[in-house]
Amino acid sequence: MNFYEKDDGGTGVVPTRDQVPVGDTWDLTQLYATPADWQAAFEKVQRDYAGLAQWKGRVGESAATLRAVLEFDKELSLLIERLGHYASLLTSGDSSNAEHLAREAKFENLLTRIGEASAFVAPEIQAIEDAIFDAFLKEPLLAEWVITLRKQRRYQPHTLTANEERLLALGSSALRGHGETFSQLTDVDMVFGKVADENGVERELTQSSYSSFLVKRDGATRRRAFQAFYAEFDAHKFTVASTLANSIKADVFTARARNYPSAREAALFSDDMPVSVYDNLISTVRANLPALHRYYALRRRLLKLDEIHQYDTYVPIVDNIETDIPWDAACDKVLAALAPLGREYTTTLGAGLRGRWCDRYENKGKRSGAFSSSSFGNPPFILMNYKRDVFAEVYTLAHEAGHSMHTWYAQRAQPFQDYNYPIFLAEVASTFNEELLTHHLLAETTDPRMRAYLINRQIDDIRGTIYRQTMFAEFEKLTHAMEEAGEPLTLESFRATYRGLLAAYFGPDFAIDSKLELECLRIPHFYRAFYVYKYATGLSAAVALAQQVLGGGDVERYLGFLRSGGAKMPLPTLAEAGVDMAQPAPIAAALAVFAQRVEELEALLG
């Protein structure tokens, strides 16, 4: 038992980093034995990167020269990735450590200089004549680079002249300045005041604490938090609306400057994703809205509400599920759930989780939340802030384990240049693990309340990841189309557009507060548009793959998906695993699971 865990399962004083038992932390000596070794590697990169200059103006002179450039850059990138990995993990473990912060800042400065030194490589590859480029790809000495070169070459129609690229680069900071404005306004300048909780105790309301008010059993507390939170956005609504409008204008400008048909197609280009996939998602979700409306009606009845508001949609329907699951027991549950994936998967993961892949518990200065992070040839480390009395932490562990094993398999099957998978695929492996965990826990529980809790959790995961993110994706599609059609982007046009979406997605029997229209101004992803749809497609693919594996399908196909890394574009990668995301069927299947779970919850609690 760790010294900061009391025998009664409560949490004592949060320790400083040096008080955490070594066995509960990740073993970064697998990256560098000492900080001095990191410094030596850093100085080597400092010396070596200037060697790129020898190929400036010569990248396309022959296949051999092109290979030499790519191999030099690869060796440099391997070192850079490892340096950055070590520096970021140390800072994540203790961001109060001045030495860690200085190391990371020094690395970022070097990265900027390397970026400047290597900027000529991509344009020179694009400048190679088509016939010569095609001949190069047939050369055996470039066989390992064909995938990388084809991916890079795709951008040729959207690469401008050197002077035009320089102008876009010079203006990039100004074009993206709206993101910093939004962050400073919402994270620093906005003050939300204090809200009395269910016991009459006033607590500070912030962007972070808002969600904790929404899970309170007392409806009046939830309502007060909602009203206070959106009152502050209402006070700054014109400023935030202007910021969002400029974000959309920047997206459209950049897409037009680079000769894309639309901002949406520009954003989808890197994944070679047709807009039909985006549109299929929206149309399929809209066709399945009645099941969502039925769930809201059930939630209203179970919470005994006269009417249901948005601030009533996060409080758990099943309350007071008390658990006490130590780390090893959580590992047991996750590994048992993932047993269908075979011995290699579970043995490797078990050794990592019980070894030192994972930085397990909270300490002062440690980054909040959880993530998985790796560099080529090194362990896929996991950051957790595990709490044994929070049941959701078991799901978080399964989720991050999915990312880590995706990386583990990809590294062993692909060369460095092809192992890194895109975000479109990243969320599949993680949410797939959560699906298997839910199936396992439902199979082993005999407690009706726990069963209801697990079913409700899965319902809310699909609601939040497929339904809600699709509504966001539709808002991004509509507002960018408005700018491209020359329609005004104003506070009122944003509110009207979002109000229409709220009415459709929440349904006719839902009480929509007028201030909820301002939600469209506070979603951070809207300032990095056309990203959220990947959450919805990722979970849809994960549900489909989980059903295949649990139904006795070929597990090797799923493991093949993990091994593929970034060797292919997302759609063919998933198609080989058995899921055609170009069609609406996987999304419809995931929403059929949602509807089934709503019926089960009605039967259990109705």
Listed in sequence order, the residues at least 6 apart from 272 whose beta carbon sits closer than 8 Å to its beta carbon are 154, 569, 570, 571
Distance CA 125, CA 58 (A): 10
Q: Which residue pairs from 35-44 have beta carbons closer than 8 angstroms and sit at least 24 positions apart in sequence?
A: 35/99, 35/103, 38/83, 38/86, 38/87, 38/103, 41/79, 41/82, 41/83, 42/83, 42/106, 42/107, 42/110, 44/79
Cβ atoms < 10 Å from Cβ of 43: 10
- Whole-angstrom Cα Rg for the chain: 25
Helix or strand holding residue 371 (H, E): strand 371-373
Instruction: Specify the 3-state DSSP secondary structure of 352.
Output: helix
Distance CA 178, CA 247 (A): 6
Q: Is 400 noted as a catalytic residue in this protein?
A: yes
Alpha-carbon separation of residue 400 from 217, 220, 433, 535, 584 (angstroms): 30, 36, 9, 15, 27
At 196, give phi and psi (nearest 5°): -75, 130
Annotated active-site residue in 400, 434, 435, 474: 400
Distance CA 336, CA 597 (A): 23
Q: In what order do the strands lie in the sheet with 358-359?
A: 358-359, 381-383, 371-373
Here the tokens at position 131 are: 């016939």
Listed in sequence order, the residues at least 6 apart from 413 whose beta carbon sits closer than 8 Å to its beta carbon are 419, 563, 564, 565
- Residue type for position 293: H
Distance CA 264, CA 320 (A): 44
Report the catalytic residues: 400
